[in-house]
């Protein structure tokens, strides 16, 4: 199989094998909070119906019940993405977890009888909360079905492969639009048939087409179900030049889940090499009983995305308050140093490869933002005297805190490059576009490790991309904090900043 260009992925810094997480969901984060309210609400309803005293152990009993329910719910794996799962299975697991809570409460009652209400109250609580838990799940499914039926929160999906597994997944998605996927086609080297085309969009086309659609942004998710490992590897390498989320489908009939070998927790050697070596944020979901494991995915799914956004809002707000006066002084200095605007605005690639406008204090006599942008070099004649000081101290980057507050950027992430530089280096460095699975940042792992400034050699850019991808693989709030402190103490002034 041949593509227009096959790239070697940027080398990955050796890291411990990450734990495979299930595909998280913002909806399920809300569901967890609603379940807590349902537990307390059911208890309050039972107490009011029986005229029992609502004071006393009410708070403690409710908290114990919530803790037990969260424990048993996690054991039953309720708080995973049910975007592609059965509602009956979800309800069954939820009811089983709630019944287990009462077994635990009655056991606690033997040791602490003052924390258990009369049997009538307990049984009504069991029934009331059980009904509330079921109703909230049915309600959530209905809302999501309506929203996704109208195209809200819908992902455009392509399936690479035309075997029985690919067709099963395509039929499952076609029958259940509430899953939030819209299949645009099945892709392979085999010719399309009249039977397939009406049901699955454009029918079966070449794998080169799927890469072109991903590069152009027509599709944002790809499921891979190819029988040949070499074809899978080649396709995954080609898709690394896109910002699409990519998953590999696994047939359960092979006897074990795709990320495990005979020994628990060991990565299966039979998996495509890219799946083991270069996966970004390993996670998995199920489509009609078929596991799909991610190869390229963002770590900011569901609650992680909320946490990252909260981090950005809090830190950028504090920074803008503290830096308001210094930024005003810098603006005056820029205006007096040379003719031109105070702010330099340049088009960059942001999340998912979409163009954004990034702000900086102008440090040059020119404001280049065309198809050819020349990087600043040492002793660059275009840099003003005051601009050189701003660039050495990274003070020219301060307006980007406004970009963070706007949602265009993040405090920590891969540094944004000019659009022309992106288009140039994506052809030379494999996996370059994967850095756009997250928002660009004011600072990043590459910057605190010295890979900043001019990238006058391909090796320098490759090292920068290597660190950017390592950041996405290893992301955690603690890593962000480490990078922020590393920037404060080491990253502002650097010999490569000119």
Which pLDDT tens digit goes with each residue over 342-390? 898 888 888 888 889 999 998 877 655 555 555 555 556 677 878 888 8
Return d(Cα 491, Cα 49) in angstroms, integer.
63
- Side by side, the strands of the sheet bearing 181-187 are 21-22, 283-287, 290-296, 245-249, 221-224, 155-160, 181-187, 204-205
pTM over 0.85, yes/no:
no
Domains and CATH numbers, the chain: 26-149 (no CATH), 154-296 (3.40.50.720), 303-491 (no CATH)
pLDDT (mean) for 108-123: 73
Q: Which two tokens stand for residue 434?
A: 């994967």
376: phi then psi, degrees, rounded to nearest 5: -70, 135
Q: Which residues pair with 21 in a beta bridge?
A: 283
Check whether 170 has a pLDDT greater than 70. Answer: yes
**Average of pLDDT values for 167-182?**
84
Mean pLDDT of the chain: 78
Tokens of 155: 């992902």
Quick check: helix, strand or coil at residue 87? helix
Place of tokens 């509430």: 178
Confidence tier at 157 by pLDDT (50, 70, 90): very high
Greatest pairwise CA separation for the chain in angstroms: 85
**Count H helices, E strands: the chain?**
15, 12
Mean pLDDT of 395-406: 92
Mean pLDDT, residues 186-207: 53
Q: How confident is the model at residue 326, as a pLDDT?
A: 92
How many whole angstroms separate alpha carbon 498 and alpha carbon 494?
A: 9
The confidence score (pLDDT) of residue 114 equals: 67
Give the model's confidence band at 233: pLDDT under 50 very low, under 70 low, under 90 confident, else very high.
Answer: confident
Helix boundaries (H) for 302-343: 303-337
- Between CA 167 and CA 162 the distance in angstroms is 6
Tens digits of residue pLDDT in 291-320: 888 889 888 876 788 889 999 999 999 999
């Amino acid at each position: 199989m041949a593509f227009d260009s096959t790239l070697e992925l940027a080398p990955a810094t050796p890291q411990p094998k990450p734990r495979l997480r299930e595909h998280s969901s913002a909806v399920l984060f809300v569901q967890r909070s609603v379940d807590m309210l349902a537990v307390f609400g059911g208890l309050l309803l039972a107490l009011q119906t029986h005229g029992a005293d609502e004071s006393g152990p009410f708070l403690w009993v409710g908290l114990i019940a919530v803790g037990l329910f969260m424990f048993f719910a996690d054991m039953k794996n309720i708080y995973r993405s049910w975007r592609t799962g059965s509602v009956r299975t979800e309800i069954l697991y939820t009811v089983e977890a709630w019944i287990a809570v009462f077994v635990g409460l009655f056991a606690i009652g033997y040791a602490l009888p003052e924390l258990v209400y009369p049997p009538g109250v307990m049984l009504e609580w069991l029934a009331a909360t059980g009904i509330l838990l079921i109703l909230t799940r049915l309600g959530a499914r209905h809302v999501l079905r309506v929203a996704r039926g109208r195209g809200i929160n819908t992902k455009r999906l392509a399936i690479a492969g035309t075997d029985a597994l690919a067709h099963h997944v395509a039929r499952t998605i076609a029958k259940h639009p509430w899953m939030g996927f819209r299949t645009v086609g099945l892709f392979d080297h085999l010719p399309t048939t009249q039977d397939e085309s009406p049901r699955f969009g454009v029918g079966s086309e070449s794998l080169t087409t799927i890469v072109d659609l991903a590069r152009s942004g027509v599709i944002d998710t790809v499921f891979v179900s190819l029988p040949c490992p070499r074809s899978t590897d080649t396709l995954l390498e080609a898709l690394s030049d896109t910002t699409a989320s990519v998953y590999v489908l696994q047939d359960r009939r092979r006897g074990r889940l795709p990320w495990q070998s005979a020994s628990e927790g060991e990565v299966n050697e039979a998996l495509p090499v890219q799946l083991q070596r270069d996966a970004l944020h390993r996670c998995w979901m199920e489509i009609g009983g078929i596991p799909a494991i991610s190869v390229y995915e963002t770590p900011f799914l569901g609650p992680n995305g909320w946490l990252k956004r909260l981090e950005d809002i809090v830190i950028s707000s504090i920074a803008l308050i503290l830096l308001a006066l210094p930024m005003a002084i810098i603006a005056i200095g820029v205006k007096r140093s040379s003719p031109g605007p105070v702010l330099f605005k340049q088009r960059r690639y942001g999340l998912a490869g979409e163009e954004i406008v990034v702000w900086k204090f102008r440090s040059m006599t020119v404001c280049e933002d065309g198809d050819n942008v020349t990087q600043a070099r040492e002793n660059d004649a275009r840099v003003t005297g005051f601009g050189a000081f701003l660039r050495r101290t990274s003070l020219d980057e301060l307006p980007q805190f406004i970009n963070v507050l706007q949602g265009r950027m993040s405090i920590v992430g891969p540094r944004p490059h000019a659009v022309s530089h992106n288009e140039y280096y994506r052809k030379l460095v494999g996996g370059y576009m994967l850095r756009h699975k997250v928002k660009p940042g004011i600072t990043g792992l590459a910057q605190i490790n010295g890979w900043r400034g001019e990238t006058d050699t391909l090796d320098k850019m490759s090292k920068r991309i290597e660190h950017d991808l390592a950041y996405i693989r290893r992301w955690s709030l603690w890593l962000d904090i480490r990078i922020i402190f590393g920037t404060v103490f080491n990253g502002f002034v650097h010999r490569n900043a000119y």
